[in-house]
A and B are shown apart, each in its own frame.
Chain A
Amino acid sequence: MARRTFDIRAQPGFGFMALLTFFALYLPIAALVAYSFNAAESLSRWDGLSLRWFASAWNNSTVQDAAIRSLVLAVWAATLATIVATMAALATTRTRPYPGLTFKYAFINQPLMVPEIVTAVALLIVFSRIKVWTGYSGMGYLILAHTAFCIPFAYLPIRGRLEDMDLTMERAAADLYATPWKTFRYVTLPLLRPAIIAGFMLAFVISLDDVVITEFVKSGGQDTLPTYMLGQLRRETSPEINAIATVFLALSVLLVTVFFFVNRRKT
């Protein structure tokens, strides 16, 4: 006599709400992607499938410039942030508490605590002055600002990995007469590599996605892809924006997927 089992994990309606939530999470993205294949002149009509807006975005020199600028900026910021974050992580882990340690934690995580718009206008105030004083208005400001808010994102996975590592390996290397540099180069660094890659990728995505701080720090003609899109959204939008967004989206999904599988292999 089979009795229906009582599932202690079930809660009425939760499954439905969850599926509704997943549907709601992906519906807007699906709509965005669908409209990028729209053949019509504007977003208010649907004229069938076409790749014309992808071609038009690809041939738009402003979009090309913005895309290249975004990538260059993200590479610079993520590289610099990862280097200094690795150093900072080495300096703040595997030690007894020392004076200033909590201060360093607070300092490094500060960019996460302050609303982006506040940091953005504060940077506008300072950098606009410096731009007048020095006459320099190049990419340096953007690289500096991006590096600063990327540091906590690069720092977190590296610090996490270091906290799981003890000093046994390094001590063994030192016992075998390795210099501190050699110990770092041939022992610590290889052990840290997955975390450094994870940190770099996080920083890269964060830099690539930023719109608020970039919008306030950039000088004329320094649009990145997100600020270009923000500017376009103010006007009557053509499906070209959808095409750009779709490509951007595909890139993000690709990065997240790679990140996901790299991290999973580790555990």
Chain B
Amino acid sequence: MRRKIVLFIIITICFLLQCTVFQSLSFAGIAPNLLIIVVSAFGLMRGKKEGLLVGFFCGLLVDIFFGFYLGVYALLYMYVGYINGLLQKRFFPDDIKLPMIMIGVSDIACNLLVYFFMFLFRGRFHFLYYLKSVIFPEFVYTMVITIFLYFILLKVNQWLEKHEKRRAKKFDV
């Protein structure tokens, strides 16, 4: 229960920051993607199931407030969470390399898919332009934010896990 509430708060804060504060802090019209950091990080730290659930709810939020059709981003983020969850066994909390790489890869993959389905199909063929002016800047900005946000998420998760372990022990005795 505690985990659910904390997750809800994290998702809410990141979503609100992303669509209000970071939109005004954007460089050259590019804002970072906080939600992908949350989805990817929880996939890595907690595995497939939590990854896909966090992804689903993050995507649903984006769909409700900004999407064309309900379910596009929910589907996309859910798979991002799931695929990141597959790598949980290789995840060690002290090592920031894997999360950095995976968050970066997730961000680029998401944007490529969005470009492919929503831009290429409508005849916007200047892929290099979009790569240069949207995908790459967003990747860089997201990476910078990851350095801060990832450690916050990691600490929150460790705090949650500590409490969960304590509770489990109580039941055992």
Does B associate with A? Answer: no
Q: Chain A: residues with CB nearer than 8 A to chain B?
A: none
User: Interface on B for A, CB 8 Å cutoff?
Assistant: none
